[in-house]
Amino acid sequence: MMSLVLFNFARRSVQYLSQAWIMLLICIMYCFALFFITTHSCIPPLGMLHPVLLLYLVATAYLLSIYPLGLCMPGYLQWGRMLGYATPAFILIFIYLIGLMADSNMAHVYTADDIGHYFLSGDVLLRFAALSLSGYYIVNIFRLPHRLVRHMQLPSDLLAYGSALGMVSLLFVALTLEFNLIMASVYLLLQTVVNLFLFFRIMRPFLDGMRYPTFRMVDRPPTQEEITVSEVEDFNEANLHRFEMLEYIMQHDKPYVDAAFNRERLCRLAGFNRHVVLQTLRSQGYNDIHEYISRYRVAELRRLIEAGEVNELKKTAMVGFKTPKTAILCFEKYEGKDLNALLRQHTLPMA
């Protein structure tokens, strides 16, 4: 699902293309991993440093170490560097595939003594090579976000993302040393949660760009007869009439300028119960009653600032905000601007 959304974003902005492909590859590997985990009882015990687990670790560590690059530069613009970066992993996988096709016997390693016994065998040496290469990629999972933040002025939450990915990858290293079905399930869950963090972070500009519903100017409130008839004949029209009633009250009576005004008082003024008011507002795009009231307070505050009637934070109480901090938070949320900056912009300098 996340990959499909990113592919859709990539149709408008190519920078999401590399992240979409990486997410898709991780998804495919998840499916193989889940199949392997659920059927492992049908094959010999995995033991320590199992090649399948190690190759999965190498591949995911590589993909996760380059994933943040998509935030600043489309992957196809740096495919040459990425290919060179992945060459050791490709060589390792190729050697294992050759061994698989040649029907070579795999060393069964279950204890530290087995590692010592088979240490000089090609199979065990390849396992340590895979573990070392995974460690190199995991170090870059921690390191790369710090470099991007320092040199490209990216948001600092990328550091938390990189650290979380690195810690989850270290968990899988422990899993390769001693396989445990519960720990494997925890790993897959944590890996999904961490990648969801970046996914929603990618969506943030789109969410911030979505407009809140606009106010509907109402000069005459609907009559009770109009509301009653529409409730029988058309559900959507009934919601619209009730919304017009709410808009008329908010625009002409301005009850929201009272800091004590809340959803219960709005319901009493409109003559509807809270469930009906909430249903009405949601039909018009509002999330809840509190958001609806706050939107009116913010709009009125902006009007007064631009008119020169409000020139300092303590006057935000004029539109119903209980504290200046609440006014600042609501203004930034619904207007996308800093309230203090707007006040400075519209405050005339002293003569």
φ/ψ of 327, rounded to 5, equals -60, -45
Q: pLDDT grade, residue 42 (50/70/90)?
A: very low
pLDDT in tens, 139-180: 888 887 777 767 666 666 777 777 888 898 898 888 887 777
Token pair for 211: 């407009």
What's residue 109's pLDDT? 60
How far apart (Å, rounded) are the C-alpha atoms in residues 207 and 230?
34
In order of 69, 128, 144, the CA distances from 79 in angstroms are 11, 28, 17
Q: In which residue are the tokens 């930034």 written?
A: 332
Q: Chain-centre distance of CA 119, in angstroms?
A: 44
Where is pLDDT greater, at 113 or 172?
172
Q: Are 301 and 327 in contact (CB under 8 A)?
A: yes
Q: In which residue are the tokens 């590997």 written?
A: 29
Q: Are 134 and 54 in contact (CB under 8 A)?
A: yes
How far apart (Å, rounded) are the C-alpha atoms in residues 210 and 28?
32
Q: pLDDT grade, residue 56 (50/70/90)?
A: confident
Token pair for 117: 């016994």
Q: In which residue are the tokens 């320092």 written?
A: 150
Among 330, 189, 147, 187, smallest CA distance to 256 is for 330
First CA to last CA across the chain, in angstroms? Answer: 60
Q: Tell me which DSSP letter residue 11 carries.
A: T
What's residue 213's pLDDT? 84
Q: pLDDT grade, residue 76 (50/70/90)?
A: very low
How far apart (Å, rounded) are the C-alpha atoms in residues 168 and 191?
6
Q: Are 305 and 341 in contact (CB under 8 A)?
A: no
Q: In which residue are the tokens 């509807």 written?
A: 272
SS3 sequence of 142-165:
HHHHHHHHHHHCCCCHHHHHHHHH
Q: Are 263 and 270 in contact (CB under 8 A)?
A: no
Mean pLDDT of 200-213: 70
In this predicted structure, the answer to whether residue 199 has a pLDDT above a threshold of 50 is yes
Average pLDDT of the chain, as a whole number: 80
Mean pLDDT of 14-25: 75
3 state DSSP class of 305: helix
In this predicted structure, the answer to whether residue 77 has a pLDDT above a threshold of 60 is no
In this predicted structure, the answer to whether residue 317 has a pLDDT above a threshold of 80 is yes
